[in-house]
Amino acid sequence: MKSELFKKAESMLKFSYSPYSHFCVGAALLCTDGTIYTGCNIENAAYGPSNCAERTAIFKAVSEGKKDFVAIAIVGGKNGVIEDFCPPCGVCRQVLAEFCKKDFLILLKDKKNQVKEFTLEQLLPESFSL
């Protein structure tokens, strides 16, 4: 399942709208029922209205009634070229905490196909959530 998630996340890099940073990010979110929602980052000149790939995937899923999630794969890099691991930003971690359990998995991959796996609790201990 991890390889399928990474494949879908990588396929989203080409849809990234990142004319300011040129840093493309793709994400693939796995629901408990096996459904996968994808997302890419979408920038805005004002930066505040920009949206990360992780939040795009979460918001797509929630907008279609899904709220039970298992894992998310995230990849990214300058001009869509994966170099290093691309962990979620603080805002994305908080959004994940709103909708995911503490054992939710965050999967990252670098250019050497090395994978890092974290639980949400590891990346955001003592989170502010229900």
Catalytic residues: 54
Closest alpha carbon to 60 in 26, 87, 89, 29: 29
